Amino acid sequence: MGTLANKRILLGVSGGIAAYKSADTVRRLREIGAEVRVIMTRGAESFITPLTLQAVSGRPVYRQLLDTDPGLKPAGAGAEAGMGHIELARWADAVLVAPASANFLARLAQGRANDLLTAVCLATEAPVAVAPAMNQQMWNNAATKTNLATLQKNGVRIFGPGEGSQACGEVGPGRMLEPADLASLTSELFTSGVLDGLNVVITAGPTWEALDPVRGLSNRSSGKMGYALATAAMEAGARVILVSGPTSLPDPERVLTLRVESAQEMHDAVHTHVPTANIFIGVAAVADYRPATRATEKIKKSGEKMTLELARNPDILASVAALKPAPYTVGFAAETEHVEQNARRKLEDKKIDLVAANRVGADLGIESDDNSLLLIDRRDATTLPAQPKTRLARSLIQHIAERYHAERGTQNTRRAHRR
């Protein structure tokens, strides 16, 4: 089974006897790392209680499309309970509707938004998957087949159904897949294959430039963006090496994580592995300078002022771009002003292929769970709007993959002409 580590899964439960399996579906999703929130239709409440799904998910259950009365929110819910359908749609990395009744499939195929679940499915940019569950005659009905064809044409993934005995006593197709199978299929939603067979080296987090055994120079980078990119690249099929400065984040699954502290250590680790890399992504907030000397003992306070001499650190990004041959090289630029101007200067000065720039502050960028990016190369500029870093990472990996394959295709064509 794959992983859903750090993924936000919105589980929709529509009305049908298979709703009794929804609690187990939540459990299976959480077992492989997902954070799960649940939306129930009115029909679903006839088969399973909101309290049950709240207990297994650890989150309030959402039921009302238009709920402006704070007193109607689930007991113990905080600000999250007030999320409207747009906020929920933005929150989700994927939406899974299980069970998806024939009625729900029909309403979704028609583009209706007359309850919270259909409204979220229409409003989200995240992948949507449905697990049909119905009587075998309903499944085989021509209207259901037409609705399924429409949903597939619109990009909705269909999980199942299975075959077997049904609650009505009949036997045939229409059984909802088992929760463990649904969790596994959901994890596959994030496997794009756009980097299949490629080697990717990524740096993340801050560096720590020691002044003495207890003090040092660093910055507020959390490493979240770099770690999200490492996971997204792995999901896209790449073999990923993550060179991380000091962070409190767990190592991403199926990624080789190398822990370092200083800029020099990061430089050395990168250059050990980058010669075999197809793509290098420099996300780390590397210190430009380090103390010229490191005291062996803790420096004691003395006098009103202290002068600190700094020495220049190696430029990891520029040194990778200067390799012959060089990997496709992506740099990050966190700016407080003149974002595009400074990013273009970085692109030219360091001779890299792509810059991902963002303005820090205002709850975006450093230390935040959300970010937005301006992607600049020598062809054009592309904006990725503010969104969770996990989702942003997948969009950026897709963009990098497209540019990498386009550039390498052009190079191969030129080599063929020269022959």
Active-site residue set: 168
Q: Are the CB atoms for 176 and 131 separated by under 8 Å? A: yes
Question: Between β-strands 128-132 and 94-100, what pairing exists: parallel, antiparallel or unpaired?
Answer: parallel
Strand partners, 219: none
CA–CA distance, 230 with 238 (Å, rounded to integer)? 9
> Would you state the structure tokens that stand for residue 184, as one six-digit string?
């596994």
Q: Which of 341, 319, 336 is nearest to 274 (CA)?
A: 319
Which residues lie closer than 8 Å to 238 by C-beta, 6 or more apart? Answer: 195, 196, 197, 198, 199, 200, 279
